Amino acid sequence: MSQTKIKKKPTKKETTATTKEVGPRRQIGEDLSKDFYEEHVLAEQLGVTDRTLRRWHALRIGPKRTVCGRAILYKKSTVMEWLLAREERLPSRRAR
């Protein structure tokens, strides 16, 4: 007599755990990586999340970006200009 295995239905916890998994990120080509940051790379450099970059874009306060298919790219020179524009100057000391 052969035994047949009965597959159990996955629990809700198991189902949500598998749906949240994200596959490996696609890498941009070496030629593009010289001039552009990928979204997750820039987020890591700035110490924020991908979601924060997307929120900044929606609020129009973040660096300009380029969308190519599903890839969100940030031109390195544009990011530097954006950072320099956000530079704060110290208040001047008043003479006594």
Q: What is the largest CA-CA distance in the chain?
A: 100
Kindly list the averaged pLDDT for each block of 10 residues, start to end, along the chain of length 96: 63 48 64 90 96 97 94 96 91 72
CATH class of 29-85: mainly alpha
Q: Is 50 left (phi over 0), alpha (psi -120 to 50) or beta?
A: alpha
pLDDT at res. 11: 62
pLDDT at res. 18: 42
pLDDT at res. 17: 43
Domain ranges of the chain: 29-85
- Please state, in angstroms and rounded to a whole number, the distance separating the CA atoms of residues 15 and 21: 10
| 3-state DSSP assignment of residue 72 | strand
Place of tokens 């190519």: 68
**Residue 44 CA to chain centroid, in angstroms?**
8
pLDDT at res. 22: 43
Residues forming beta bridges with residue 72, ordered by sequence position: 67
pLDDT at res. 14: 54
